[in-house]
Amino acid sequence: MKVRLLGDPILRKKAKPVTNFEQIKEIKEEMLKIMYLEDGVGLAAPQIGLSLRFFLMDYGEGPKVIVNPQIFEHSEDTEEGEEGCLSVPGIFADVRRYKWVKLRYQDENGSYHEELFEGYAARIIQHETDHLDGILFIDRLPSDVKKQLALELRKIMRKRLEETK
C-alpha cells in the first residue's frame, strides 16, 4: 500500500459510498502508518488506490475516521491557508476555504455523527472531502499560481509514470 501520485486516474474519480465497514477496520492501521510516516494530517482512501468515501485525519487530537462525509453547512467567511498533499509531494500553496463546516458522517463502526469543525480541522475536512470527489487542492488555485507550479507538477506526474513501469 502506497500513496498514489498526481496523474493516477483514481485521484480524479468520485469515490463510492462505504457499505462494508469491516474493510475500513482492516486497513485503518496501515493507512495511519502511511499518513504519519509521510507527515500528513489526513489521508483519503483514493490516495491509496481505493475508490471509497472515507478518510483518516489527525490534527493533534488523535486519529479520526470519517466515512461517507457530507458537508451540510458552512460559514460564509473564508480564509486562505497553506496546504500541501501527500499525492502532490513538495508542492505547497495558499488555498481559500470556509472557516467552519458542519459535517454529517459515519465512524468506522457505521454510527452516524454531526459535528462542527473550525479552523485547521475544517480545512482538513474540506481538503479530504475534495479527494473523495476527485478534486485536488491544486484545482482550487488561481490559474497564475498553477502556471508557476506547472514544471513541478509535471515532474511529479513523470515520477508516477516511472514508478508504474
Q: Is 113 annotated as a binding residue?
A: no
Out of 26, 61, 73, 128, the active site residue is 128
Spatial neighbors of 56 by CB under 8 A, at least 6 apart, are: 28, 31, 32, 35, 42, 43, 63, 64, 65, 66
CA distance 132 to 46: 7
Segment (H or E) for 92: strand 88-98
**Tally of CB atoms within 10 A around 89:** 15
Segment (H or E) for 65: strand 64-74
Helix (H) and strand (E) counts in the chain: 3, 7
Q: Is 127 annotated as a binding residue?
A: yes
Q: Is 128 a catalytic residue?
A: yes
**Tally of CB atoms within 10 A around 90:** 9
Known binding residues: 85, 127, 131
- The residues carrying an active-site annotation are 128
Known binding residues for Fe cation: 85, 127, 131
